[in-house]
């Protein structure tokens, strides 16, 4: 009849930023190995600790990459939405990981207040400066993707946390090198841990919101339903559901009851256009029903 209501597969927000994520992963992994070797060679506990922190970044970035790769792979037809949710699960796992690292930093800082160890200021400063450069490059690579993908945002926060760690390490190293004051390291470490925690909490909240299939933030489902009802040719709307599959992929299903004189294709076009243009819901499955159709209540 000349009407095309195709549902083309769309790349997720995370998939569009896979290349910068891969570059950030490579940079971070390479520098982690360098830092580990220097730490073992010099016997510096500070450098080995920072290498362990970089290791959590490598793990987080690796999980994000793996999730995107698996989500894009063609899979079992039983998985009707593919494996897109792996990206959200990776973001949640990154949040848990960040919480663990922040908790460890705070615990270690508390331990060091009672007995601050001697930290070599000059080697710490040199490695922290190089680490900051690496983190700045990775931070810039992931910035755009973090605005679109929750999964990339998790990796971005990992790098952001480590970038703050590098800045703090530089400040602490300068204080230790110039004054010998040993409490600079635990004080700055505690400040970084406290700074990371609330941002990590928000990331985990966003991931849980998607996993619970809550409507996208800022979208009022009742308002959407009322606007669909106001469209020409629509008599009623029921069983309307709107949720996020993964970052950048909002979807909707619903039943639209037509008026007696309505033309099905015209009504369907109006509904899907409204959802796409006004609410950015581009993957919608709408069932149009004649007014005489007997509704079978759906408890979901």
Q: Is 252 in the same domain as 202?
A: no
Q: How far apart are CA 228 and CA 120, in angstroms?
A: 67
In a domain, 298, yes or no: no
Give me the count of residues in the chain.
300
Residue (of 148, 143, 155) closest to 248 by Cα position: 148
Assign residue 120 the CATH number of its domain: 1.20.1510.10
Q: How far apart are CA 173 and CA 34, in angstroms?
A: 19
Q: Is 204 in the same domain as 240?
A: no
pLDDT tens per residue across span 168-192: 778 878 888 888 887 887 787 777 7
In a domain, 20, yes or no: yes
In a domain, 3, yes or no: no
Q: Is 207 in the same domain as 230?
A: no
Count of structural domains within the chain: 2
Beta-bridged to residue 288, according to DSSP, are: 256
Q: Is 28 in the same domain as 160?
A: yes
Picking from 166, 186, 211, the residue at the C-terminal end of a domain is 211
Q: Is 154 in the same domain as 282?
A: no
Q: Is 80 in the same domain as 101?
A: yes
Tally of CB atoms within 10 A around 46? 23
- Lay out the sheet containing 234-246: strands in order across: 234-246, 249-258, 283-289
Full residue range of the structural domain in which residue 185 is found: 13-211
Q: Is 180 in the same domain as 151?
A: yes
In a domain, 155, yes or no: yes
- pLDDT by residue for the chain (300 residues), tens only, comes to 444 454 444 455 556 667 888 888 898 888 888 878 876 776 555 566 666 667 767 777 777 777 677 666 656 666 666 677 777 887 788 788 878 877 877 887 788 787 776 766 677 788 778 888 988 998 888 887 777 776 677 778 778 877 877 787 788 788 888 888 878 877 877 777 777 788 778 878 888 998 999 999 999 999 999 999 999 999 999 999 999 887 778 899 999 999 988 999 999 999 999 999 999 998 899 999 987 776 544 545
Q: Is 78 in the same domain as 132?
A: yes
CB 35 within 8 A of CB 131: yes
Q: Is 261 in the same domain as 148?
A: no
Picking from 184, 211, 238, the residue at the C-terminal end of a domain is 211
pLDDT tens per residue across span 6-29: 444 445 555 666 788 888 889 888
Q: Given phi > 0 = left and psi -120 to 50 = alpha, else beta, which region is 230?
A: alpha
């Amino acid at each position: 009849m000349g009407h095309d209501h195709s549902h083309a597969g769309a790349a997720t927000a995370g998939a569009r930023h896979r290349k910068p994520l891969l570059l950030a992963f490579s940079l971070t992994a390479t520098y982690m190995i360098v830092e580990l070797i220097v730490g073992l060679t010099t016997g510096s506990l500070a450098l080995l600790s920072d290498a362990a922190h970089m290791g959590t970044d490598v793990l987080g970035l690796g999980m994000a990459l793996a999730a995107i790769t698996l989500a894009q792979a063609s899979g079992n037809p039983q998985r009707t939405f593919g494996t897109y949710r792996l990206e959200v699960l990776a973001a949640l796992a990154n949040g848990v990981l960040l919480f663990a690292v922040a908790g460890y930093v705070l615990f270690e800082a508390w331990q060091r207040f009672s007995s601050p160890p001697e930290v070599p200021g000059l080697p710490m400063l040199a490695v922290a400066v190089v680490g900051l450069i690496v983190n700045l490059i990775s931070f810039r690579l992931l910035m755009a993707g973090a605005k679109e993908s929750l999964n990339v945002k998790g990796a971005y926060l990992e790098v952001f946390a480590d970038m703050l760690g590098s800045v703090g390490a530089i400040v602490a190293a300068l204080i230790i090198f110039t004054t010998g004051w040993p409490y600079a390291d635990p004080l700055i470490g505690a400040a970084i841990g406290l700074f990371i925690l609330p941002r990590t909490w928000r990331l985990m909240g966003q991931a849980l919101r998607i996993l619970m299939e809550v409507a996208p933030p800022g979208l009022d489902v009742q308002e959407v339903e009322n606007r669909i009802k106001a469209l020409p040719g629509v008599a009623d709307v029921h069983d309307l559901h709107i949720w996020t599959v993964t970052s950048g992929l909002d979807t909707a299903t619903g039943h639209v009851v037509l008026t007696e004189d309505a033309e099905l294709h015209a009504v369907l076009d109006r509904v899907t256009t409204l959802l796409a243009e006004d609410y950015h819901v581009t993957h919608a499955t709408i069932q149009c029903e004649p007014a005489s159709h007997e509704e079978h209540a759906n408890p979901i």
